[in-house]
Amino acid sequence: MTIALDIGTRKIRSLRREGGRLLGRTNLAEYIALPDTPGHRRLLERVTASFGRCQNSLLVIGQSALELAETLQVPTIPLMPGGRLPVEDPLARQVIASLIDALLPPAATNGQICWMTVPGAVSTDVDSPERTFFSQLVRLKGFEPCVVSTGRCVILAELGANGFTGMGIDFGASAVRASLARHGQEVAHSLLQRGGQWLDTRLSDSEGSVLFDAQGNQYLDFAAITRWKESRLVSVLNPLSEREQKLALLYEELIGETLAKFRVDIVQQTSIANLPQPLPLVCTGGVSRIAGFQGLMEELLRDTMFPLEVSDVRCASDADYAVARGSLILAELEETAVPISRVA
């Protein structure tokens, strides 16, 4: 068995190969809180949603929370706001621990490597409490955790035909991470500490799109923004309405800042002079799902003094599992002790 774990701000995924089968599992790192009343308990039992009790609330976690939130018009609450674990929220830690425990089977052999990714907010801080916490959870299942960048995972997942050579950008919820690799080995990497949630926050703020929980606390209605963006009726390349134009400008800002930061980090590497060019660029993440994203990226690349020639821009074939798939490929190559340069 080989296994990979992708811990994102909004979703946590595992992917493993076992007995010739490829098994993927996903948990949503969000929950809803409902008043602990007989009516709400009957509702949750009727829709067969698993729930727990905490003080005077009923907590529904994961995908069921997302579905019920839309029906009941209540907000989903993130377990990791901004990709960080709340310092004084032991409940959030317990829930995240249970989500990861459900995704990871026991290791086949003690000390087996589990390649994993962590939220962008903590990806560069090797001593962060979050990374320590995630690593401890993985070790409890008998694995030895090894952290890999999501940008590199995108390259491993999507650029096999290119010898694992090119650029990968993961537009995550809390951060954007980009990598440049040759034969799967990272040459340069970049981190922008804003992502899809920044986009949604800016748009929700401008529109006053909010929901209230049972205690009257106000939350931005991210779910409604996401449904609208992914409806395929919206394009950031050819925006029609005023709302689409506003969204397109936010996308231009995020992509522009990503390319500017990536450019700075690339030119610092003297080894780029030896890279074959042009190079492919592949993108993934929730931000990249919207219609027109690929075309907008191509336009902004043409307008940017980018230090490398780009052959083509593409979006990952399976955005949900692209990062986990790249991690699994790395795990399998390491397990068979085959250098990536020999495979490429």
Residues of the chain with pLDDT under 70: 121-124, 214, 337-344
Predicted model pTM: 0.90
Rounded CA separation 260/254 (Å): 10
Mean pLDDT, all residues of the chain? 89
Per-residue pLDDT at 212: 76
For residue range 21-40, what is the model confidence (pLDDT) as tens digits? 999 999 999 988 888 889 98
For residue range 165-175, what is the model confidence (pLDDT) as tens digits? 999 999 999 99
From residue 15, alpha-carbon distances to 7, 21, 156, 267 in Å are 12, 10, 15, 34
Per-residue pLDDT at 342: 37
Per-residue pLDDT at 273: 82
Per-residue pLDDT at 121: 65
Contact between 134 and 314 (Cβ < 8 Å): no
- Separation of CA 133 from chain center: 18
Per-residue pLDDT at 107: 94
Contact between 99 and 29 (Cβ < 8 Å): yes
